[in-house]
Amino acid sequence: MVFKEYDYDNQPIVEIVNEIMADAVRNRASDIHFDPTPDKLKVRFRIDGDLVDYAYVPNAFKKNMTTRIKIISGMNITESRLPQDGAIKTELEGKPLDMRVSALPIVDGEKVVIRILDYSTSLQGIDNIGFSDVNLEKVKRMLDVPNGIILTTGATGSGKSTTTYAMLQRLNVPETNIITVEDPVEMKIEGLNQVQVMAEIGLTFAAALRSILRQDPDVIMIGEIRDNETARIAVRSAITGHLVVSTIHTNNTLNTIERLTDMDIERYLLGTALVGLISQRLAKKLCPKCRGSRPATEYEKLVIKKAINLDIDNLYTPVGCDDCLGGYRGRVPIHEVCELDQDIKDAITNSTPKEKLRSLVYGNGKTISLLQDGLKKAVNGLTSFEEILRVIDIETDFGDGDEELRMALLGKLPTKSAEENEEGNEEAATETPAVTPAPEPVTTPIEKAPETTPTASTPEPPKPEPVRKVDPNNPEYEIPTEDKLSFNQSDINFGEEMSYDDFGDDYEDDY
Ligand SMILES: [Zn+2]
């Protein structure tokens, strides 16, 4: 679907490229993809995790466009057979904008991807990045520990850098020496000593870390623990009096512990060093302007009852309006924050089997699981039940200890109505009823439900509201104002306002 049609014959390519970047920022895109195909260059935006077609550039202008991007990102334009990296630094409406650019030769030309680095979320601080109250308290307690390791874990694109930077911001006080080793340095923060890894000249994570320890640090941030040597240095630094903040590519508390114990580190040192594990995933956030409410299915009621012991009748549901993409706008993090108490530390040291470890981590509600945190956020209207099911991994997130919950999620446990009615079958249990906006928003005893706008429960198509209602207690719900952005490089006329409806809904899901 051609979403934006440029007049390639008459509009200079310089202007078109500027406009593409401005449009991407206006639409909160995290990346811009330029995909060469045999007959065109496809331009796509990644918005809230999904790629959306934006424009098709005819073959005759393909090379010009790629060259223009390579020029402004400081790449060698005579080289098109080897991968290259570049960067664009510019300003939009006085706000600094950093973009990281990558060019990769593929059979149909050069594929260019522009990553738009957005620091605004990290800069909101640890209090405003989507932690539930209970989890926020835990994270703050971890950050008060003078030495040890705090790991944020998750897949690529799970927002773990945002969380890590927000933690560093809290630790960033004048009396502290913070040194980071990153690949790449994503966000420059005043007060931090940030080291860029350059493996090609031998400055690896491990090499940089060895030097850092001679720089009298209090806090060390390691971009990512990727290998045994980095892990060993991290542990050694932690037990010699430093607070180490890092990330690792695992998906939940137990998998992280398993992964770390598989590395070549003495278990008793690991048990001593680990302070906290934050696992994170991103779910799409329901658009607060148009979200509706619908009766929950028996299946949903059962899963919510088993997971968070709540009886609910209704669930929030996506509707869709001019301000969002299919009822969603932005994303909300789902967390699992595990504080390592002495029992868990001992279990790591003593190689306790995984299922025993599971009960130590989750038993007595000590750690709120990703599913539980997600369902609470769904019940409170931040996201939808469907989104939580999408981000939960039934294979790896559950074990023997929570077999009943796993069966409930798989739709293999009889629901209440099926129990009452012997004829009830599994099919009926997972059936989804038609969406009918209910008059009352769901409220739960767990947290105050965010204020709903009057349009949330009216069946008519939502009308634009003159004033956007923002609950001051829910900064997550603040909708950024659609600033008119402009590049300082040249004057751009943005023309008419863009509507999300133009995107269509056949975008692909890569999560
Ligand atoms: Zn909406």
Q: For 498, what's the count of Cα atoms within 13 Å in the CB-facing half-sphere? A: 25
CA of 19 to the centre of ligand 1 (A): 25
pLDDT at 421: 58
- Rounded to the nearest 5 degrees, what angle is found at the Cα of 158, between the Cα atoms of 153 and 159? 90
Local confidence band at 223 (pLDDT 50, 70, 90 cut-offs): very high
**Cis, peptide link before residue 184, omega less than 30° from 0:** yes
Local confidence band at 338 (pLDDT 50, 70, 90 cut-offs): very high
CA of 326 to the centre of ligand 1 (A): 7
Q: What number is the average pLDDT over the span 82-101?
A: 88
Among 38-47, 142-151, 481-490, the minimum mean pLDDT is found in 481-490
Model confidence at 465: pLDDT above 60: no
CA of 451 to the centre of ligand 1 (A): 15
Q: What number is the average pLDDT over the span 339-354?
A: 95
Average pLDDT, the chain: 83
CA of 320 to the centre of ligand 1 (A): 4
Question: pLDDT higher for 127 or 95?
Answer: 127
CA of 247 to the centre of ligand 1 (A): 33
CA 195 to chain CA centroid, nearest Å: 24
Q: What is the pTM of this model?
A: 0.77
What per-residue string of b and e applies to 386-401 under the rule 16 or more CB within 10 Å gives b? ebbbbbbeeeebbeeb
Among 27-41, 213-227, 340-354, 390-404, the minimum mean pLDDT is found in 390-404
Q: For 104, what's the count of Cα atoms within 13 Å in the CB-facing half-sphere? A: 8
pLDDT at 497: 33
CA of 167 to the centre of ligand 1 (A): 31
pLDDT at 450: 45
Q: Which residues place a Cβ less than 5 A from the ion ligand 1? A: 287, 289-290, 321, 323-324
Sheet with 193-196: list strands edge to edge. 193-196, 178-182, 219-222, 243-248, 148-153, 274-286, 328-339
What torsion, rounded to 10 degrees, do the Cα atoms 414, 415, 421, 427 define?
Answer: -70
Q: Which residue has the tokens 């306002």?
A: 497
Written in H, E and C, the secondary structure of 205-269 is HHHHHHHHHHHCCCEEEECCCCCHHHHHHHHHHHHCCCEEEEEECCCCHHHHHHHHHHCCCCHHH
Question: pLDDT higher for 358 or 458?
Answer: 358
pLDDT at 239: 95
| Paired sense of beta strands 148-153 and 40-47, if any | unpaired
Residue 53 gets the label, from left (phi > 0), alpha (psi -120 to 50) or beta, of beta
CA of 456 to the centre of ligand 1 (A): 9
CA of 55 to the centre of ligand 1 (A): 23
Model confidence at 487: pLDDT above 70: no
Question: pLDDT higher for 413 or 243?
Answer: 243
Question: pLDDT higher for 475 or 228?
Answer: 228
Q: What number is the average pLDDT over the span 269-278?
A: 97
- Rounded to the nearest 5 degrees, what angle is found at the Cα of 266, between the Cα atoms of 264 and 270? 100
CA of 290 to the centre of ligand 1 (A): 4
CA of 214 to the centre of ligand 1 (A): 53
